[in-house]
Chain A
């Protein structure tokens, strides 16, 4: 299994440009998420999906769109890039398990995309 793959590894955009960060997983995981990592702030959830056709917003969704047409793919779209979106983006996928009567998951992360917006 390749696990979680992300493309591209690096990207430089100009303000106002649009682009799509690709994420794919081959583990048949139901759940997929996008995070951004900024210095001193840890990882923050952008959007997540609990299955094909179902997405929801995380902590910092503004400026980003997602869709989930297949189980394997979860692309992240920047509609009009801004310098504040300069960050490292991580995609994660997970399976759900139940313990103590509640459900949670263990997330597996991709290698990241380093995005710079000038």
Chain B
């Protein structure tokens, strides 16, 4: 069984500041991990995914995430926040079965001037 915990349902940062969204996972098999972003009234868009090829994963819009097995974490970061980054972010885990993603509860990112 898989599960994901996202720490912090709301995160607020200033424009230009570091973005750090936390995700910890639990999986009985080697996990595949994903970050999705959801803008208001839209569907989910894939930001990046961990496939076991490299522990540091780069995604779209300047985001990246690092897989740390020892900490069971897959935190999402961006060096400099932009107003357009304001959205809800979801971490998800797949235990190797296609079509069965388990999502975290989401973190809403607010970017202020």
Contact = CB atoms under 8 A, between A and B. Distances in A.
Interface of A: 4, 30-33, 35, 40-45, 48-50, 58-59, 90, 92, 94, 96, 99-100, 102-112
A48 to B, nearest CB: 4
Interface of B: 9, 29-30, 32, 34, 36, 41-46, 49, 51-53, 90, 92, 94, 96-106
B21 to A, nearest CB: 14
Given A40-B9, A42-B103, A103 B96 contact: yes
Given A43-B90, A90-B43, A90-B44, A107 B101 contact: yes
B43 A44 contact: no
23 contacts: A4-B43, A33-B101, A35-B103, A42-B103, A43-B44, A44-B103, A45-B100, A45-B102, A48-B99, A50-B98, A59-B102, A90-B44, A99-B52, A100-B30, A100-B51, A100-B52, A102-B96, A104-B32, A104-B98, A106-B46, A107-B46, A109-B36, A112-B41
Contacts of B101: 33, 43, 45, 107
- A-side binding surface: helix, strand, loop or mixed? strand
Contacts of B51: 99-100, 104
- B-side binding surface: helix, strand, loop or mixed? loop
B93 to A, nearest CB: 10
A102 B99 contact: no
B96 A109 contact: no
B90 A42 contact: yes
Contact of A40 (B92, B98, B105): B105
